[in-house]
Copies of this chain bind each other. A is one copy, B any other.
Amino acid sequence: MSAELVLYTYFRSSAAFRVRIALNLKGLHAEHRFVHLLKDGGQQFAAKYGELNPQHLVPTLVHNGRALQQSLAIIEYLDEVFPAPPLLPGDALGRARVRALACAIACDIHPLNNLRVRKYLKMGRSDAEIRDWQAHWIALGFAALEAMLANSEHTGRFCHGDAPTLADICLIPQMANAHALEMDLSAYPTLTRIEDAALALPAFSNALPKKQPDAE
């Protein structure tokens, strides 16, 4: 079993955090291999890692020897191959809603703030300016998410109903990033309520960066 699933991960990566949650929710064990994004000039840039992930990003999930990239694609795959418990609703409109919530984070917040973008932005900018850049995109995205969640009859204990879905899997790592920036999240009561519900589950709390063996 341990050789069947191998996760290339970095404790601070939000995208790896998502896949860790999905694996935990499915009750799947993956062997973790650690890719330190800052050591050795970035271990993700090693040629050997590039064979598994030509974007040189984490995570990569290897299943039965086949390398899969991109956290959303990996989680959809896990949901298809290991269907219980489902990470997407049973109806097409529900799936569209959950995927839209996930993409509002995974396309429109996180990619603007990840390590490679911060490094590229840094040229000529102060740490405070970088912090403001990150907080700007999180606040903009969270305001939309709060509206999407607070105004919908489909929102329950979690983003969609009373069980975790792909939307929660994306939300919780993004909340962790907001906390790391010490942002005031009082304008997003639905998001913080859902975060509390999620972190009460070991599948989410055991996937937190600080709980990982490679945490510093």
- Whether A31 is near chain B, meaning CB under 8 Å from some CB there, is no
Secondary structure dominating the interface of A: helix
CB nearest neighbor in B for A81? B92
In the bound complex, CA of A144 to CA of B55 (Å): 5
Segment 80-122 of A: residues with Cβ below 8 Å from B:
80-81, 92-93, 95-97, 99-100, 102-104, 106-108, 110-112, 117, 120
CB distance from A158 to the nearest CB of B (A): 17
Q: Which residue of B lies closest to A114 (CB)?
A: B108
Partner pick for A107 among B56, B92, B111, B120, CB 8 A cutoff: B111
Q: How many residues of A contact B (CB 8 A)?
A: 41
Query: Which residues from chain B contact A112 at a C-beta distance below 8 Å?
Result: 111-112, 117
Q: How far is the CB of A189 from chain B (nearest CB, A)?
A: 16
A44 CB to closest chain B CB, in angstroms? 12
Which stretch (A2-10, A67-75, A203-211) binds chain B? Answer: A67-75
- Is A214 an interface residue, CB under 8 A from the partner? no
Residues of B within 8 A of A97 (CB): 68, 73
Chain B residues whose CB sits within 8 angstroms of the CB of A69 once the complex forms: 100, 104, 148
Q: Are A56 and B106 in contact (CB under 8 A)?
A: no
Q: Is the CB of A108 within 8 A of B77?
A: no
Q: Is the CB of A55 within 8 A of B111?
A: no
Closest to A151 in B: B54
| Chain B residues with CB below 8 A from A148, complex form | 54-55, 69
Residues of A in contact with B (beta carbons under 8 Å apart): 50, 54-57, 66, 68-70, 72-74, 76-77, 80-81, 92-93, 95-97, 99-100, 102-104, 106-108, 110-112, 117, 120, 136, 141, 144-145, 147-148, 151
Top 3 A-B pairs, shortest CB-CB distance: A73-B99, A54-B147, A70-B103
Can you add 7 more A-B contacts, CB < 8 Å, to A55-B104, A55-B144, A68-B93?
A55-B108, A66-B93, A70-B99, A72-B99, A76-B95, A77-B92, A112-B112
